[in-house]
Structure 1
Amino acid sequence: MSRLHALRPVLPILIGASVMLSLAMGLRQSLGIFVPPLTRDIGISIGDFTIAVAIQNLTWGILQPFAGALAVRVGFRPLMVGGSLLYLVGLVLLATSHSLWAVIVGAGLLIGTAMATTGTAMAMATASAAVSPQVRSMVLGLVSASGSLGAMLAAPLGQSIARDWGWRMGVAAFVVLALIMLPAAWNAGRVDRSRPPPVPGHAEQSGTHALLGALRHPPFVVMSLAYTVCGMQLVFLTTHLPAYLDICGMDPMLSAQALGLIGGFNVLGSLFFGWAGGRVNKLLLLGSIYILRSLGFIWFFHAMPSPGSTMVFASVMGFLWLGVSPLVQGWIAQTFGLRWQAMIAGVAFFSHQIGSFIGAFGGGWLYDLTHNYATAWKIGATLGLVVGTIQIGFAFLSRIPAPRLAA
């Protein structure tokens, strides 16, 4: 109870970071519900739309390390507020698009850039800097859990509006929700005031030195590579699950309900893994998540879906969804310190986004090539089993000394 009481002064920061992350992740994860009507309306294929999603993820991944490094120089607030504005512009462009290029710029480049400053790495670094090490893992779990609440609201709302008034009005509803990101980002930016001033006569470690130290640490390299498959699996689902269910003749609302259920169970999973990360080897938990996800893929996709199996699958995937985030972010903060956490986490996240690019674009490309998703899900499941096993093996090597960076 005393630890929770100690969080009271930083609650505005934590709430701001949570709301910003919830909307940034929830709106982005729910864009897949617009794929069937959008592609039919403007005359593009599913593969064409996934080019935009792939570019979004790749842009996010490329810019994330630079955003993390820039936060050390200029502070979190300017980046998070600016990213929230970009997010709004991207959604407006998507809602008014009549060509593939408008979709690519709006849903791809602009939202991808915005995610680098409003997404997981920045929100988690903000929360880490605001609290003590004793409660950090728990707080990261709470903030990560908030990242799914937006999907619980956005997916059903967007689907309902799109069904009654068209997909453009559904995206317009997302624009209204995204307005809330602006005050949330501003409040989260209060963490800039708590950053310790430079110590006179003390040479601060450079970002280059911090990055090289992380890249020479084998458990970090393995964790980052395994993160690639994580991104591949998750973005394949958020991008292609609505289309897959549509192809299988399911009710369009089922995909929105599934995405909402993923969000709901993600709350439980993030809280659990945030709690467990303070008690169990974080790398061991990461490997277990990847293996369990892959087994879920095999169970669900090997036969035609039903409403019941879809709901069970969504629940399992939701529980295993963003639980990765508090584990990765907590391990990086614990291993390398806080000062360059956002940048180092951004480098790991770049690997995640390479996988996201493959999951979005590769899934669409394989579907256009084979006219089904069988090859795509089998590749995702197999790679998940392999990297999960390797990650667990390296969990036992996690005591390899890491270069301790300045906090």
Structure 2
Amino acid sequence: MSRSSAASPLSSARPNVPLIIVCGCLIALLSFGPRSALGMFLLPMTEARGWSREIFALALAIQNLTWGAAQPFAGMLADRYGTARVFAAGVVIYAIGLVAMAYAQTPVWLHVSAGVMIGIGIASSSFALVIAAFGRVVTAEQRSMAFGIGTASGSMGQFVFGFLAPPLIDGLGWQVALIAMGGVMLAVLPLTFALRGKSVHTPTHAHEKEQNLKQAVAEAFGTRGYILLTFGFFVCGFHVAFITVHLPPYIVDLGLEPFWGGLSIALIGLFNIFGSLASGYIGGRFSKPYLLSVIYLSRAFAIFIFLMVPPTPFTVMVFAGVMGLLWLSTVPPTSGLVAVMFGPRYMGTLFGFVFFSHQLGSFLGIWLGGKLYDETGSYDTIWWLGIALGLFAAVVHWPIREAPVERLASVPAE
């Protein structure tokens, strides 16, 4: 390896940044779409199989937990062997999981297919790896906006599949709809080639110390701000997963047509495009910790108002729009803080651990939603718990310092 390539923070080949951004955004769109529409399969699938809502909710809760547990390892593999290989394996597992879910005859196979298989597939093909790949090829000044664009692309997938899923289920049946979405996932494979390569970082400044992966993880978990960020992202997962899975059936419980449930998920995805882009822009210019506190406080207030007003199509759509603006707008500042604190070298791994906390929250949000509904016949308790957690997250993010760790404090930004 030549001296110039050894000093580069990236692989020896110059990355085609526009191509990486475009293909990464398409991957985020196609991979995030199907899993965000799975809540619409709750009613038809449980009615067809004679299962309770808790059984279906547990499968998606396992999916989110598996996703979170696998995410750090997917990040490690991408950091070490390259993002494209991990993406390719992930989309194949994802597609097989969707097809297997269509043919699941027992709760065990539902949990294996919709839970474990799709969870591993998402961990290896979702926006978390996309934004890590973006972080390695754009400048420090561009990262926040690039992360917002990557997150917004995942939201576009939620918007598109939120509209597509109901007519697919009505027209083809829920089984064929799942198989069709599995076929869509395979369309991601050609796009993964553009994200080939990996980060090969070598210190370029006298004060910078080279790290191995174990040292990077130890440094992160020894940093107070990283721990607080991890706690806060738990709440994001709780909110997002509970609403994704249980808002459509909740809307039906309120006496409204199922159409409004599908439209609400689509609107959340649509408005989150704008929310994610705005968050990326604001996070690049103002305090990321303060921005996160405002987002979580606003979520708590939005849920409170939604519970207080009469349930009508209008109030449901307004709630969906507001939550959409606040939905994954947490991702650009959260991932941005990881990059600010520790740099991009092991971002796939370090953001993966933060994301695991997000998925622990997702597991509890989905599972508790189904369990408490089956026990009480109502989602009220889980909604109020979501409000309390939103207030907790607003407090937790406020004291985080947006600054590099001591190892990087005297090193010029990459």
With normalisation by structure 2, the TM-score equals 0.91
Instruction: Work out whether 1:181 is the aligned partner of 2:191.
Output: no
Whether the aligned pair in 1 keeps the contact of 2:102 and 2:178 (CA below 8 Å) is: yes
Please give the per-residue CA displacement for 1:289-320, whole angstroms capped at 9, x wherever unaligned.
Answer: 11111111111123452110111011011111
Please give the per-residue CA displacement for 1:14-46, whole angstroms capped at 9, x wherever unaligned.
Answer: 112111111221211110011101100011111
Whether the aligned pair in 1 keeps the contact of 2:342 and 2:405 (CA below 8 Å) is: no
Structure 1 residues 115-126: aligned runs within 5 Å: 115-126=122-133
Where in structure 1 do 4 or more consecutive aligned residues deviate above 6 Å?
A: none
Whether the aligned pair in 1 keeps the contact of 2:68 and 2:355 (CA below 8 Å) is: yes
What residue is the counterpart of 2:80 in the other structure?
Answer: 73
- Picking from 351, 354, 366, the partner of 1:360 is 366
- Picking from 46, 50, 57, the partner of 2:53 is 46
Structure 1 residues 22-37: aligned runs within 5 Å: 22-37=29-44
Amino acid at match of 1:63: A
Distance in 1 of aligned mates of 2:304 and 2:136: 39
What residue is the counterpart of 1:269 in the other structure?
Answer: 275
1:118 match: secondary structure? coil
What residue is the counterpart of 1:281 in the other structure?
Answer: 287
More divergent stretch after superposition (157-166 vs 84-93): 157-166
Whether the aligned pair in 2 keeps the contact of 1:80 and 1:186 (CA below 8 Å) is: no
What residue is the counterpart of 1:404 in the other structure?
Answer: 408
> By how many angstroms is 1:177 displaced?
2.1
Distance in 1 of aligned mates of 2:406 and 2:35: 35
Distance in 1 of aligned mates of 2:246 and 2:201: 47
> By how many angstroms is 1:366 displaced?
0.9
Amino acid at match of 1:268: F
What residue is the counterpart of 2:62 in the other structure?
Answer: 55
Distance in 1 of aligned mates of 2:120 and 2:295: 28
Please give the per-residue CA displacement for 1:85-109, whole angstroms capped at 9, x wherever unaligned.
Answer: 1110011111222221222111110
> RMSD of the alignment, in Å?
2.1
Structure 1 residues 157-196: aligned runs within 5 Å: 157-189=164-196, 191-192=197-198, 195-196=199-200
> By how many angstroms is 1:153 displaced?
1.4
C-alpha change, 1:199 and 1:226, in structure 2 (3 Å) is: closer
**Structure 1 gaps, min length 5:** 1-6
- Picking from 233, 236, 245, the partner of 1:230 is 236
With normalisation by structure 1, the TM-score equals 0.92
C-alpha change, 1:145 and 1:291, in structure 2 (3 Å) is: same
1:249 match: secondary structure? coil
Please give the per-residue CA displacement for 1:245-298, whole angstroms capped at 9, x wherever unaligned.
Answer: 121221111111111111110110011000001111111111111111111111
Instruction: Work out whether 1:103 is the aligned partner of 2:107.
Output: no
Distance in 2 of aligned mates of 1:400 and 1:378: 36
Instruction: Work out whether 1:84 is the aligned partner of 2:69.
Output: no
> By how many angstroms is 1:204 displaced?
4.0
Instruction: Work out whether 1:211 is the aligned partner of 2:217.
Output: yes
What residue is the counterpart of 1:292 in the other structure?
Answer: 298
Please give the per-residue CA displacement for 1:176-227, whole angstroms capped at 9, x wherever unaligned.
Answer: 32122212222223x43xx447579x98411111111111111111111011
Distance in 2 of aligned mates of 1:91 and 1:401: 42
Whether the aligned pair in 1 keeps the contact of 2:37 and 2:158 (CA below 8 Å) is: yes
Whether the aligned pair in 2 keeps the contact of 1:87 and 1:111 (CA below 8 Å) is: yes
- Picking from 366, 371, 379, the partner of 1:373 is 379
Distance in 1 of aligned mates of 2:161 and 2:79: 32
Whether the aligned pair in 2 keeps the contact of 1:59 and 1:113 (CA below 8 Å) is: yes
Q: Which one has the bigger helix percentage?
A: 1
1:338 match: secondary structure? coil
**Structure 2 gaps, min length 5:** 1-13
C-alpha change, 1:49 and 1:402, in structure 2 (3 Å) is: farther
> By how many angstroms is 1:123 displaced?
0.8
What residue is the counterpart of 1:147 in the other structure?
Answer: 154
What residue is the counterpart of 1:4 in the other structure?
Answer: none
Amino acid at match of 2:182: V
May I ask how many residue pairs the two structures share in their alignment?
A: 395
